[in-house]
Amino acid sequence: MADKEKRVPENVPGPYYVDNSCISCQLCNDRAPDHFRMNENNMNSYVYKQPETDSEIRNCEEALSSCPASAIGNDG
Ligand code: SF4
Q: Which fold has domain 4-74?
A: Alpha-Beta Plaits (3.30.70)
Hey, is 5 helix, strand or coil? helix
Q: ∠ CA 39-22-37 to the nearest 5 degrees?
A: 30
User: Which of 10, 20, 26, 74 to mutate for ligand 1's pocket (most ligand atoms within 8 Å of CB)?
Assistant: 26
* Residue 56 to residue 67: CA distance in whole angstroms: 17
Kindly state if the Cβ of 72 falls inside 6 Å of ligand 1.
yes
Q: Whose CA is nearest to atom 8 of ligand 1?
A: 22
For the segment 23-59, what is each residue's pLDDT rounded down to a tens digit? Answer: 999 999 999 999 999 999 999 999 999 999 999 999 9
Predicted TM-score (pTM) of the model is: 0.96
What pLDDT is attached to residue 76? 85
> How far, in Å, is the centroid of ligand 1 from the Cα of 23?
6
